[in-house]
Structure 1
Amino acid sequence: MTQYRIALIVGSLRRESFNKKLAEGLIRLAPKDFSFHHCEIGDLPLYNQDDDSHQAAPVKRLKQEITESQGVLFVTPEYNRSVPGVLKNAIDHASRPYGHSAFAGKPAGVIGISVGAIGTAIAQQHLRNTLAYLDMPTLGQPEAFLQAKDDLFDADGNIGEGSRKFLQGWMDRYVQWIQKHAG
């Protein structure tokens, strides 16, 4: 049986992040041949092109984690109608220097949760534009713009009953996407 290693990038540093909870809940919906590696992005320096020729150790680590994966899962909040700066910073680091992107050709999925009624719809669209430029085939359907509600997670952190069928369907499509596009 083929094993798939997925680089999991959560665009929130908040300790009680809804997006971290969502990522953990989604992992529990994945098949056993999928493993998810949480990529740390909070320790990256601010991106500066002057550093491309001598990248910091956390940058090299992030690029290695992505390189060793068969796919990437981005779980992002929406800040001011876009992706958080920490996520954009991580993307900039891992895609540089030009011509040496760790993301090139890696299949991706994008999902997120927010307290707002439209979830993370605009942040996801901005992220999809960036991923298209980075040559990452990105799952288009189903889209999942989740609003944080009390019953989204159960007491154990699993996806709640009301959302489980939809999110299991999303995870099943993501798995198929990775299997189809993984090199």
Structure 2
Amino acid sequence: MSQTRILVLVGSLRAASINRRLAEAAVQTAPEGVELFIYEGLGDIPFYNEDLDVEGQVPAAAQALRDAVAASDATLLVTPEYNGTLPAVLKNAIDWASRPYGAGALKSLPVAVVSASISQNAAKWSHDDAVKALGVAGAEVVKEASLNFGAIGSRFVETHPADDAEALTQLAATVRLLAEDVKARANA
């Protein structure tokens, strides 16, 4: 059986962000037969503009994202919450990957959302906005694979999520459920 490839999109561009660390920990939880890879370069993609989205002239950074999404079997979004919603960089990635309308790389792609914030809210508003945007874009959100982390500022201030047994267990369950969804779709 072939390897299941899961693309990870991280909504925080800061190298030392806790959301980035959660994504790194998720990569470590991949079971046999599943490969997770964190996409680099979201910050290089121009804001979506239909004037730029012309066949044969799509900016290289945007085309690279589309190609990476199209080459994956599923996507895992890891999102912080900025001012009560998802970061612009993730919304922009969703916008580019959803085009051309009705046939973009996200169409029918299984996606899971992990959200994390310093508040007790656990970035649930950001999570809900990501789920909404992904659904409108045509992705298949795997809701049972959803995961929310709250109070990450204190929980992971001195500990990497990869060193937190509970976080690893939760991330592993999310990755497993997403991979199982991919396999179920392939066998349907």
TM normalised by structure 2 equals 0.87
Q: In structure 1, which of residues 68, 73, 96 is the aligned counterpart of residue 71 of structure 2?
A: 68
Q: Per-residue deviation at 1:149?
A: 5.0
Q: Per-residue deviation at 1:153?
A: 8.4
Structure 1: runs of 5+ lacking an equivalent = none
Tell me what 1:35 maps to.
Answer: 35
Tell me what 1:177 maps to.
Answer: 181
Please say if 1:120 is aligned against 2:112. no
Give the structure with the larger helix fraction: 2
Within a 5 Å distance, the mapping from 1:1-183 to structure 2 comes to: 1-39=1-39, 40-53=41-54, 54-147=57-150, 148=152, 150-152=154-156, 158-182=162-186
Question: Runs in 1 of length 4+ with deviation above 4 angstroms?
Answer: 149-157
Tell me the matched-pair count: 183
Report the Cα distance in structure 1 between the residues aligned to 2:179 and 2:13, rounded to whole angstroms.
Answer: 26
Identity of aligned residues (%): 30
CA deviation map 1:17-69 (0-9, x unaligned): 11110011011111131112322211001211111112101111111111111
Letter in 2 for 1:174: L
Q: Per-residue deviation at 1:143?
A: 3.4
Structure 2: runs of 5+ lacking an equivalent = none
TM normalised by structure 1 equals 0.89
Report the Cα distance in structure 1 between the residues aligned to 2:175 and 2:71, rounded to whole angstroms.
Answer: 21
Report the Cα distance in structure 2 between the residues aligned to 1:176 and 1:154, rounded to whole angstroms.
Answer: 33
Alpha carbon RMSD of aligned pairs, Å? Answer: 2.1
Relative to 1, partners in 2 of residues 1:25 and 1:182: Cα closer, same or farther, differing over 3 Å? farther
